[in-house]
Amino acid sequence: MESVRVYNKKGIPVKKGVGLFARVFMEQFPLLPVEDEGRLHDPKLRENFIERIFVFKRWRELIALPKRRGNLVDFHTKHKLLVLSHSEKHHRRMGRLVAKAEEMTTNALYKEYQKLLMEALRLKTTTKKNVNVLQHVMGYFKKQLSADEKQELLELIDHYRSYYVPLIVPITLINHYVRKYEQPYLKQQYYLHPHPIELQLRNHV
């Protein structure tokens, strides 16, 4: 995918090339999640890659169904926070696209949405982006959480921001509140469970 040695006219190698097979593969399948094997040793890159695979799987399941605007709106609703954790700009663009779904043919709608979705997921999540999402999630509990519960969640988010605890810690507490207060919108958000917990992909600081 990258850092392949390319020799200049003087025979000096520069690691800026792309493998022949990798280049053709990515040109033929530009939306397919791909990652360099060596880079998967990085826990954040590994999490991002596997998260993209699961989103792509759910997208394939969606397009296997009859193409209906309602199906796409449902998919978008469940992935809103996940997309936001990657790109606020794409989150806004995809929201506007879905809002004007009736103005487009379903084929054009699906094609443009898929392009934006995969573009967004290629952008890496960061601690700052996740903190933004976590704070956004808190807004759904403003009438339910007690002062003590709110303070506890704020402290865990701040600990995550300061790299004292991994993302799974505030996410676990949020999932507890989702079940306790039966929050219907958050219950369906893939951001809170993007991949099997057994993979432990959010356990790194």
Tens of pLDDT, residue by residue over 157-192, are 999 999 999 999 999 999 999 999 999 999 999 999
Region 130-137: mean pLDDT is: 97
Report the phi/psi class of residue 71: left, alpha or beta, with left for phi > 0 and alpha for psi in -120 to 50: alpha
Instruction: Confirm whether pTM is higher than 0.95.
Output: no
Give the integer Cα–Cα distance in Å for 48 and 142: 30
Least confident of 7-16, 63-72, 84-93, 158-167: 7-16
Neighbour tally for 125: CB within 10 Å:
20
Measured in degrees and rounded to the nearest 5, phi and psi for residue 95 equal -65, -45
pLDDT at 15: 75
pLDDT in tens, 4-45: 778 877 778 777 778 877 888 778 877 788 888 888 888 988
